[in-house]
Chains A and B, each alone.
Chain A
Amino acid sequence: MNQIVIIPILLPLASAVAMLLFSRSVTIQRIISLSSSCLLLAAAGWLLAAVISGGMLSLQAGGWAAPFGITLAADLLSAVMVAASALIGFATVIYSFAVIDPERERFFYHPLLQLLLMGINGAFLTGDVFNLYVWFEVMLISSFVLLVLGGTPVQLEGAIKYVTINLLSSSVFLAAAGILYGIAGTLNMADLARIAPRIEQKELLSVVSVLFMITFGVKAAVFPLFFWLPASYHTPPVPVSAIFAGLLTKVGVYALIRFFTTVFPHESIFINDVLLVASALTMLTGVLGAVAQYDVRKLLSFHIVSQIGYMIFGLALHSPLALAGALFYIVHNIIAKTNLFYISGIVERISGTWDLKRAGGVYARYPFISMLFLVPALGLAGIPPLSGFWAKFVIIRAGFEAGEYAVTGIALFVSLLTLFSMMKIWNEAFWKERPHQQEYEGINRYVSMGIAGKAMLLSPVVMLGLLTILFGIFFEPVFRIAESASLQLLDPLLYSTAVLGRKE
């Protein structure tokens, strides 16, 4: 049973290798890509079901016992994240078939997407700090290549910023892992959870945890380390932007949650104060940046930053309710944010521009697509009964319970501004009449697509939109999973016992 932990990593790798072998034929690559992401979705669902019913799973690769070997561990948090990444991977593969150009497909777009998924799943499933570094790098190198694939000047400029800041954060990660090994003598997360309370060099441990906070903060785009995100995420093609927006920053958030609940629970008091301030500033700067933008993709990129603030807020509060809220928020946000990027791509196809001032009139011609936009947009803003309402409701309630009125007030205010900027997109791109209509005759690339193309374009949007609605309506059962995940997180001994296989 424990063997299934490896499948979400092995499957994308195997399919990427298979696709490289068929590098001549894009059709075969598409078939492999689609079937592999279907299988991945099934495997991730199986893993999630197994973890919900049977508790934590862990696998020692090569049969070397923990803490010496390579440990893979799936608790509820990991399993939920893997399921989300498999879902987004599946949706993105379908969406890519409709929009990605043949040139990029020939240059290994599909294998790179699978390698990216492998890196993300590896980061979610690993139980070892150094392996986390390795999986981060796997994820980064595939994201680098996906980002520059096509090589337009603006992509290269965005990539320079993205690559430089990420290499910098990697070297901070490496240094932190080295110092941690020096003071703890182990890098296995389960072992660390056991040993960390007994470490005598408390000051050094604080330094290490701040270094980890910085490196994961860069990946998660937390204030003040977020500036690379709005400078790079809008440059690649839409499916790439969408999968980055949905998953990459969440890997950083996942690592922050994992470290400051399971691995360093006792460090969290000091870290939580820092994270609390950072979360408030992240929410504010993100949303203020978004309000000022008129490029749809930049607007949405700034919203990624602002939404990260809510998740960090949940982590900083550190109560069972807040953590469960943060988890629910992550899943809700992965789905809604990816969906918004998909729709922005469709709107661009219809109106031929990313600029909101020049777009318009989509509602008059495509009411169905406009409704599809409203679902994730209102979900993101937190309108009941969509999933975002519950996500925000839980986090804000946890904030009031903890007595953090100032930050909670900011969270509510930011929520209002989110609604405002979503309505801005609605008014500008969908509702208002198109300015200079005659200039744009024949620019609509959506009309000329075949039925199959339109179906591939819209089906991921419909699927994710349905999930946003379903998570809102069936909130209770979904939230119960998040609650038990947060209880698991707040009991680090559970994790170390499951991995090390013995009681202390």
Chain B
Amino acid sequence: MTLLLALVIGCLYAAGIFLILRRNMVKVIFGLILLAHAANLLIFTVGRLTKGIPAFVPEGAGMLSGEFADPLPQALILTAIVIGFGLQAFTIVLFKRTWLTLGTEDLDLMKTTDEPPRE
């Protein structure tokens, strides 16, 4: 299972990096989203996969004993997903606004910020 997830993460990173290098804005957004997913899955996998043993304290016992799934990576991922949701929503709105204002989705054409002031 770990190996499979590792492969999936690798593919997600590869696809994400490929996409953010494209000139089209929409593809860049998809690339960023894939990278965020890859990072989340990475946390999930590195936090050790423990199947079927949730971290619940048994009735009557004071603390957890034996093997149990670590809940912290999941809490981290949940937080990261929420934050990523906000950021990606903002990015989509920004890219849409840019497309409406500039009338292009080609990132290579957006060079005015790097050009010297007009003579």
Contact = CB atoms under 8 A, between A and B. Distances in A.
Interface of A: 130, 133-134, 137, 140-141, 144-145, 148, 151, 153-154, 156-161, 163-164, 167-168, 170-172, 174-175, 177-179, 181-183, 230-232, 234-235, 293-295, 354-355
Interface residues of B, number: 38
A178 B43 contact: yes
A18 B32 CA distance: 34
Interface string B93-116: 011011001100001001011101
21 contacts: A133-B80, A153-B102, A156-B98, A156-B102, A157-B98, A157-B110, A158-B113, A159-B94, A159-B98, A161-B113, A163-B90, A163-B91, A164-B32, A168-B20, A168-B32, A171-B36, A177-B76, A178-B39, A178-B46, A178-B73, A295-B117
A178 B112 contact: no
Contact of A174 (B20, B32, B43): B43
B117 to A, nearest CB: 4
B8 interface: no
Nearest to A228: B113
Nearest to A148: B94
Nearest to A172: B39
Contacts, number: 112
A184 to B, nearest CB: 11
Nearest to B99: A156
Contact of A141 (B28, B87, B114, B117): B87
B87 A170 contact: yes
B98 A160 contact: yes
A158 B39 CA distance: 26
B47 interface: yes
Contact of B73 (A148, A170, A181, A232): A181
A164 B72 CA distance: 28
Contact of A295 (B28, B87, B116): B116
Top 7 nearest A-B pairs (CB, nearest first) are A182-B46, A178-B43, A174-B39, A355-B117, A171-B35, A156-B98, A175-B39
Interface string B8-49: 000000000000100001001000100110111011001110
A288 B20 CA distance: 29
Interface of B: 20, 25, 28, 32, 35-36, 38-40, 42-43, 46-48, 72-73, 76, 79-80, 83, 86-88, 90-91, 94-95, 97-98, 101-102, 107, 110, 112-114, 116-117
B117 A157 contact: no
Contacts of B90: 141, 144-145, 163
A154 B113 contact: yes
Contacts of A177: 43, 76
Contacts of B94: 144, 148, 156, 159-160, 163
Chain B binding surface, main DSSP class: helix
A412 to B, nearest CB: 29
Nearest to B103: A153
Contacts of B80: 133, 174
Given A168-B35, A181-B46, A182-B48, A156 B20 contact: no
Contact of A134 (B42, B73, B83, B101): B83
A167 B94 CA distance: 13
A137 B83 contact: yes
Contacts of A172: 39
B31 to A, nearest CB: 9
A50 B74 CA distance: 37
B20 A151 contact: no
A163 B107 CA distance: 13
A156 B80 CA distance: 26
Given A134-B79, A160-B94, A181 B117 contact: no
B92 to A, nearest CB: 11
Nearest to A292: B116
Nearest to B46: A182
Centre residue among B36, B88, B117 by max chain A CB count within 10 A: B117
Contact of B102 (A144, A157, A355): A157
